[in-house]
Amino acid sequence: MFCFQCEQTAGCKGCTGENGVCGKSFMVANTQDSLTQALIDLSLSLNGKEPNDNQRRLMLEGLFTTITNVNFDCEKITALTKEINSQFPNTNSEDTYSDHSLQLWAETEDIRSLKSLILFGLRGMAAYAYHAAMLGYQDDKISDFFFEGLRAVGNPEANMNGLLPIVMEVGKVNLRCMELLDKANTETYGTPIPSTVSLTVNKGPFIVITGHDLKDLKLLLEQTEGKGINIYTHGEMLPAHAYPELKKYGHLKGNFGTAWQNQKKEFSDIPAPILFTTNCLMPPKHSYSDRVFTTGAVSFPETIHIDEDKDFTPVIQKALELGGYEKDVEFAGINGGKEVTTGFGHATVLSIADKVINAIKDGQIKHIFLVAGCDGAKPERSYYTNFVKLTPSDSIALTLACGKYRFNDLDLGTVAGIPRILDMGQCNDAYSAIHVAVKLAETLNCSVNDLPISFVISWYEQKAVSILLTLLYLGIKNIRLGPSIPAFMSPNVLTYLVENFGIAPITVPEDDMKDLLKQA
Ligand code: FSO
Ligand code: SF4
């Protein structure tokens, strides 16, 4: 196997051998490669012809399936590959399984690097397009771009000059895709409102739901209503508490646990089932594997998968059977806080834009930091907690995605009447942060790079790659990226990004803070 798509790749170089660091076996890795090449071959075979709806669906499912920590199930991946194979001209059997070995890994270093940026960016974007599609929102321009992007990945003649604009195009289309998902979420569930979320789990049966899919949560809330079962969000599901149409359910009680990499510890002994709607799933330990349920693109052999009918009865029965805690249990965040806040999406932040702008103009707010992205297991990630603790009292830290669990229970007080930590939502709500930055720049009549805003990004998987490409497409400079530089960036590609965008790896919080405050 060979895989270097995520931040925890072995030795910061690539996972090879029997298993990846994430627990993906060589069998799963090879099956995923074959699925990816089938999608590339399908894109090439269409030769610019418009894909049909079924092909568009397969593209989203296929790309989403190969994201880190989503699908560990060879049978499911093979079945999907067969479906893709049935779409080729002159093929009419769904049982055709031809092995498409992924040619990408054999390319020269720089070409492999740029094609990887395109492929991984498309994988991340596919997850967002998939969530929007679940809510009935689609955009042909976005759907068709997946095919165009994969054609570039499959083009043996492609050179650096030809691939670089496509890398930027991924960022551009991903912005449109995040905007679509923002529209889908807010039109379906209402505009997020700032909300305080308890970390206490009440006595009685409960279900923990994790991942990013708000529709799955809504369906679970409907199916558990009046059954004496409480629902707790976990990981990237936390921002759901801010959406009026989800918040209205009294049994959506609070948030359990922190970010994905702590799941083996956090799930080992809870008297409740856990429903995974998307990544990040780690191979479950024996102690709790019978309590893990998956749905959508996420799957693990031998755990129960809830099909497209979304009948959550097995999860509900498990919750009732386990019965939950006998009395309320007070949990705390990483820094000891008993509650967290969320729901500061672009509508809320822009509704107080005048206040923010005036506070910037009269010097009450001197700096805004976007400290955002994924969490992960590496100890170096404590950088982000320490960085936020160091933010001056006349600054605000905007945050989003699961990296926020490193600091979202800190009480940093307020500045100019505004809380100093504002959680904008899930990783796709990077759209909110971008929207706010662009609007502030418009109002202050300057460019985003002239604003006193710094971007301090933590990455882990491919959605973060698509967001990074969006920030680059927007011309945002001097991004600090950590905890390490992606293994798939070749030295030449990295030099290009440093020279043109000023991207820099994180160093130590104190030094980075000094530098960023100087730049503003
Ligand atoms: Fe985190 Fe996982 Fe949301 Fe990712 S839970 S790491 S970037 O899937 O998507 O932030
Ligand atoms: Fe390794 Fe990450 Fe690939 Fe898993 S997804 S095999 S950890 S590079």
- Cα separation, 28 vs 78, in Å, equals 10
Tokens, residue 34: 């074959």
Domain boundary assignment for the chain: 2-188, 195-330, 345-519
Q: Which atom of ligand 1 is nearest to the CA of 279?
A: 8
Asked if the domains 2-188 and 345-519 are classified in one and the same CATH topology, the answer is no
Pocket test for ligand 2, best of 30, 68, 489 (most atoms within 8 A of CB): 68
Instruction: Return the axis-axis angle of helices 74-85 and 26-46, rounded to nearest 10°.
Output: 20
Task: Give the closest ligand to the alpha carbon of residue 116.
Answer: 2
Classify each residue of 387-422 as buried b or exposed e, where b means 16 or more C-beta atoms within 10 Å of its C-beta: bbeebeeebbbbbbbbbbbbbbbbebeebbebbbbb
Give the pLDDT of residue 355: 86
Model confidence at 352, in pLDDT bands (50, 70, 90)?
A: confident
Q: Does domain 345-519 have CATH number 3.40.190.10?
A: no
**R_g over Cα of the chain:** 22
- Cα 341 to Cα 55, 192, 348, 382, 400: the distances in Å are 40, 12, 13, 21, 12
Tokens, residue 76: 């499911």
Report the CATH fold assignment for 195-330: Rossmann fold (3.40.50)
Q: How many residues does the chain have?
A: 520
The residue contributing the CA closest to ligand 2 atom 6 is 20
Q: Is the ipTM reported for this complex over the cut 0.90?
A: yes
Task: Give the closest ligand to the alpha carbon of residue 67.
Answer: 2
The residue contributing the CA closest to ligand 2 atom 4 is 22
Provide residues with CB under 6 Å of ligand 2: 3-6, 8-9, 15, 20-22, 24, 29, 68
Model confidence at 110, in pLDDT bands (50, 70, 90)?
A: very high
CATH-assigned architecture of domain 2-188? Up-down Bundle (1.20)
- Cα separation, 421 vs 153, in Å, equals 40
- Cα separation, 282 vs 45, in Å, equals 35
What mean pLDDT comes out for the span 68-94?
Answer: 87
Q: Which atom of ligand 2 is nearest to the CA of 5?
A: 8
Model confidence at 102, in pLDDT bands (50, 70, 90)?
A: confident
Provide residues with CB under 6 Å of ligand 1: 235-236, 260, 279-280, 374, 401-402, 426-427, 460-461, 463-464
Residue 90 in this model has a pLDDT that exceeds 90: no
- Cα separation, 277 vs 295, in Å, equals 5
Residue 379 in this model has a pLDDT that exceeds 60: yes
Give the pLDDT of residue 88: 84
Pocket test for ligand 1, best of 65, 255, 260 (most atoms within 8 A of CB): 260
Model confidence at 482, in pLDDT bands (50, 70, 90)?
A: very high
Quote the percentage of the chain above a pLDDT of 70: 98
Cβ proximity of 310 and 295 under 8 Å? yes
- Cα separation, 194 vs 454, in Å, equals 23
Cβ proximity of 185 and 213 under 8 Å? no
Place of tokens 């449109």: 176
Give the pLDDT of residue 206: 98
Strand 200-201 relative to strand 329-330, pairing: antiparallel
